[in-house]
Copies of this chain bind each other. A is one copy, B any other.
Amino acid sequence: MVKLTPEMKEDIQKVRVLPLATASNDKTPNVIPIGIAEIDDSDDKDDYIHIMNNFFLKTIANIKENPKVALYIWSPETAGCIQIKGEAVEITAKGDVYDGMTGRVKEAKPGLPMKEIIRIKITDIFNCKSGKDAGQKIL
């Protein structure tokens, strides 16, 4: 049960590019910049992040064999630095989640392949701001 705080949501809005890390079954980490992520906070218990697969290669292969992901929210404009860990619970190319997000992205960034949406359940949030509390679990 992890719900983002209002301050975390504000920081997520401020970040244009964020690093998405995955790992293969042989424990090889992978990290890529992604530019499109949306929060779904409509569930009472958990928050979700939706990301779009446009050009994923190792990332999507990793998620299919190991659903664990990590990303961080930080830019010079954010109040904090949070690392979000989560688990991909759905990969879909149809339905309300897909139609909603692709509709919004199509307007903002036309021409993307928009192959599928990956729905990630947030499981943990850690502090990633430099200093003695770096790495500590927040939620």
Contacts and interface: CB of A to CB of B under 8 A. Distances in A.
Contacts of A108: none
Nearest to A69: B29
Interface string A21-55: 11111011111110100000000000000000011
A135 B131 CA distance: 33
A29 B35 contact: no
Contact of A135 (B24, B57, B135): B57
Nearest to A62: B29
A20 B128 CA distance: 12
B134 A55 contact: yes
Interface in A1-28: 17, 19-25, 27-28
A66 B24 CA distance: 13
A79 to B, nearest CB: 15
A55 B135 contact: yes
A83 interface: yes
Nearest to A84: B31
A43 to B, nearest CB: 23
Nearest to A133: B55
